[in-house]
């Protein structure tokens, strides 16, 4: 993409409504525009990152054997009356009437919808286990939408649902989700810590939230500092191996880590004092096992091996896809702007032409641009007639991890400059080598 043709409405002033850095930077970098309270349009740059994050979620769900599908955003109230949640859900649910006066709602979550699909089509234990998920817009009429995409009213969420014959199998599905979530967040350059949580309106006993530590997080968290040393890394895991998945859960929940909702002072006191940490965190996902809560109320049963009909064991699992943009920026920025981790960056690198209109500089930039694209990379070429300072400012603000700077002086010596956004370090090297270096960086990430 050439910047001269791109829609990047960068803001010069600091937006006054933004209370936290991620909200401010997303507005300044022209990623989102508020449409109404807690509801945003995703401009091209923001949309690109949203799609990158979504893609990683899809890839990791596929790896775990979960099937993608899509359910509607508008649901019928009748289904929710069956589960008893229509009245229980409260004011966060956006209730709508159609022209025939039928009661509808905008989906805040989809346990009822998926259970209805399941009961219509599955009747034997032989069709289990089954896990399906969607990435779809949700609406919750939050009392206080704030912090941009972090607490929106409309937001993009991955929600997955497992159906199993036994509690043991459903707990395996729970563990499998925990493993896949650890992988998912690490690929986005995030450390998200699983913490014991409360189940809220979803119901059930077993639940963990994944929290990214950040001063601006809405949850207060308490943990043993040893938990932050744990990395999933590039271990290979067989998602059908119950013991292997259970071992990962045991490892990542072996240290004290809880949110204010489940915090237990007596247990926390048993953590050695020098390892006790109190901080704030952003919830980027949550997994639940809730047994037969929905299958019993909605009649989702299967015939077991003994011919008897039994309600299935279920769980649901969410990732805050749109909130993740805010969480990643909170975790990765400096005073000049965003610093995208390579896994989610909207463009792989920027190309800055210091002397637009200079034949040699223009040709060198174009060669870099074509060379990167030929390797399947997606560069953003700043070909505007702007001062160097303005070009650098834009690149730093939008946070591409790598920048290649091209100017007549370097070209005389056959070199361009390759700069890391994260470290600020620059190196002069021939253009072909700059391309090879960037290609090598991205070939290392999945
Ligand atoms: N209003 C929102 N705006 C953006 N993302 C959200 C919002 N509510 C929930 N999410 C994201 O969706 C994920 C799954 O939804 P879940 O039902 O667990 O949310 P929740 O526990 O009600 O969230 P919260 O406690 O933050 O209100 C959450 O972990 C979070 O990342
Ligand atoms: Mg939650």
Confidence (pLDDT) at 332:
98
Closest residue by CA, ligand 1 atom 29: 285
**pLDDT for the residue 204:** 59
Please answer whether residues 314 and 115 qualify as being in contact, where contact means their C-beta atoms are separated by less than 8 angstroms: yes
Rounded to the nearest angstrom, the distance between the alpha carbon of 319 and the centre of ligand 2 is 9
398 within 8 A of 338, measured Cβ to Cβ: yes
298 and 397 both lie in a single domain: no
On whether residue 163 sits in a domain, the answer given is yes
Query: Is the predicted pLDDT of residue 55 greater than 80, yes or no?
Result: yes
Across the range 419-440, mean pLDDT stands at 98
- Does one domain contain both 259 and 385? no
Same structural domain, 109 and 209: yes
Asked if 153 and 277 sit in the same domain, the reply is yes
Burial of 422 (0-12, 13-18, 19+ CB in 10 A): middle
Quote the pLDDT of residue 445.
84
Q: Which of 112-121, 200-209, 330-339 has the lowest mean pLDDT?
A: 200-209
Instruction: Specify the pLDDT at position 15.
Output: 92
**Domain stops at, among 297, 312, 337:** 337
CATH of the domain at 393: 3.40.50.800
Separation of 209 CA from ligand 2 center, angstroms? 6
Task: Supply the residue whose CA is at minimum distance from atom 17 of ligand 1.
Answer: 318
Domain match, 234 and 326 both: yes
Same domain, yes or no: 354 and 280? no
Report the domain count for the chain.
2
Segments forming the whole domain that contains residue 218: 7-337
Three-state DSSP class for 372? helix
For residue 360, is it within any domain? yes
Domain boundary among 291, 309, 337: 337
Note the pLDDT tens digit of each residue in 150-194.
999 999 999 999 999 999 999 999 999 999 999 999 999 999 999
Residue 200 has pLDDT above 80, yes or no: no
* Smallest-distance ligand from the CA of 261: 1
User: Does 342 fall in a domain?
Assistant: no
Domain membership flag for residue 295: yes
Distance 285 CA to ligand 2 centre (A): 6
Q: Is the pLDDT reported for residue 446 higher than 90?
A: no
Q: Within this chain, do residues 405 and 318 fall inside the same structural domain, yes or no?
A: no
**68 and 170 housed in the same domain:** yes
* Neighbouring C-alpha atoms within 13 Å toward the C-beta of 117: 16
Domain boundary among 310, 337, 364: 337
Residues 290 and 353 in one domain: no
Residue 269 lies in a domain: yes
Which pLDDT tens digit goes with each residue over 321-376? 999 999 999 999 999 999 999 999 999 999 999 999 999 999 999 999 999 999 99
Residues having CB within 6 Å of any atom of ligand 1: 109, 140, 142, 151-152, 155, 157, 200, 283-286, 318, 320, 322-323
Averaged confidence pLDDT in the chain: 96
Q: pLDDT digits over 172-184, tens only?
A: 999 999 999 999 9
Give, in order, the Cα–Cα distances in Å from 335 to each of 8, 25, 277, 280, 347: 20, 10, 26, 21, 21
Assess whether 287 and 366 both reside in one domain.
Answer: no
Ligand 2 centroid distance, CA of 201 (Å): 10
Closest ligand 1 atom, residue 108 Cα: 17
Q: pTM, whole model, 2 decimals?
A: 0.97
pLDDT exceeds 80 at position 205: no
* Bridge partners, 206 (sequence order): 289
Same domain, 307 and 385: no
Q: Is the same domain home to 327 and 358?
A: no
């Amino acid at each position: 993409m050439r910047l001269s043709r791109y829609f990047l409405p960068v803001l010069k002033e600091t937006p006054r409504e933004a209370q936290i850095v991620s909200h401010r930077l997303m507005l300044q970098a022209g990623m989102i525009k508020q449409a109404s309270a807690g509801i945003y349009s995703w401009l091209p740059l923001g949309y690109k990152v949203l799609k990158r994050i979504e893609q990683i979620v899809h890839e990791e769900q596929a790896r775990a054997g979960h099937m993608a599908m899509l359910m509607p955003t508008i649901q019928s109230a009748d289904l929710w009356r069956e589960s008893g949640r229509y009245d229980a859900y409260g004011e966060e649910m956006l209730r709508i009437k159609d022209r025939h006066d039928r009661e509808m709602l905008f989906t805040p979550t989809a346990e009822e919808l998926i259970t209805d699909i399941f009961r219509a089509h599955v009747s034997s234990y032989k069709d289990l286990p089954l896990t399906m998920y969607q990435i779809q817009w949700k609406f919750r009429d939050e009392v206080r939408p704030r912090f941009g995409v972090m607490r929106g009213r409309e937001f993009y969420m991955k929600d997955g649902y497992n159906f199993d014959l036994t509690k043991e199998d459903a707990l395996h599905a729970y563990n499998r989700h925990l493993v896949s979530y650890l992988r998912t967040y690490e690929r986005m350059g995030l450390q998200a810590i699983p913490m014991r949580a409360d189940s809220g309106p979803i119901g059930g006993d077993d639940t963990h939230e994944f929290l990214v530590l950040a001063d601006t997080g809405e949850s207060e968290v308490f943990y043993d500092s040893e938990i932050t040393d744990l990395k999933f890394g590039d271990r290979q895991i067989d998602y059908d191996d119950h013991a292997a998945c259970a071992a990962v859960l045991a490892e990542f929940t072996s240290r004290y880590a809880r949110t204010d909702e489940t915090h237990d002072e007596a247990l926390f006191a048993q953590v050695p004092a020098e390892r006790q940490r109190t901080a704030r965190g952003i919830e980027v996902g949550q997994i639940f096992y809730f047994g037969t809560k929905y299958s019993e109320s909605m009649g989702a049963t299967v015939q077991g091996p003994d011919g008897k009909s039994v309600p299935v064991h279920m769980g649901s699992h969410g990732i805050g896809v749109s909130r993740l943009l805010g969480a990643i920026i909170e975790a990765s920025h400096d005073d000049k702007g965003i610093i995208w981790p390579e896994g989610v960056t909207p463009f792989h690198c920027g190309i800055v032409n210091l002397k637009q209109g200079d034949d040699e500089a223009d040709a060198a930039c174009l060669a870099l641009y074509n060379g990167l694209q030929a390797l399947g990379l997606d560069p953003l070429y700043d070909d505007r007639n702007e001062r160097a300072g303005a070009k650098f400012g834009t690149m730093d603000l939008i946070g591409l991890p790598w920048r290649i700077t091209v100017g007549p002086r370097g070209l005389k010596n056959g070199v361009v400059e390759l700069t890391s956004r994260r470290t600020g370090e620059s190196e002069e090297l021939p253009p072909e080598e700059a391309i090879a270096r960037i290609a090598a960086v991205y070939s290392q990430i999945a």
